[in-house]
Amino acid sequence: MKFLILNGPNLNLLGLREPDIYGKQTYADLKSFVESVCAREGIECEVRQSNHEGVLVDWIQAAYGAFDAIVMNPAAYTHTSVAILDALKAVSLPAAEVHLSNIYEREAFRHVSYPGMACIKTVYGKGFAGYEEAICFLKNHLEGKE
């Protein structure tokens, strides 16, 4: 089982960017956390981050035939990217959306997720643990347990 873990814009600045919302842990901490969860669950993973929408779309498209599932934190592209939505729909891989913060306790524009429309699960407001929940959910889904 192999998962692609994608992170969108500004997540590379975790620990610096609005730590009262996103916490003080860094992107390196997040990457290590995700890799350790996947290792524990027997899942190969690639963890990637880009500030560029087209790069994220390219990675999603390239996932077809190479990965079993996608965990994605689209970050700011959550609320704007029909392109990411369409890429997720095109590859038809099981996908889960993750948000570190509770998007429903923030500005109204953050309540709409385009990529989430192609995901079978969305986890929000649980910090790094949201990634663990999404990974375990997708593993169980692929094993026919969810």
What is the set of active-site residues? Answer: 22, 99
Cα separation, 10 vs 76, whole angstroms? 8
* H helix and E strand count, the chain: 5, 5
Element (H, E) at 33: helix 27-41
Cα separation, 17 vs 3, whole angstroms? 27
Three-state DSSP string of 55-95? HHHHHHHHHCCCCCEEEEECHHHHHCCHHHHHHHHHHCCCE
Looking at residue 78, its amino acid is T
* Cβ–Cβ under 8 Å, residues 5 and 71: yes
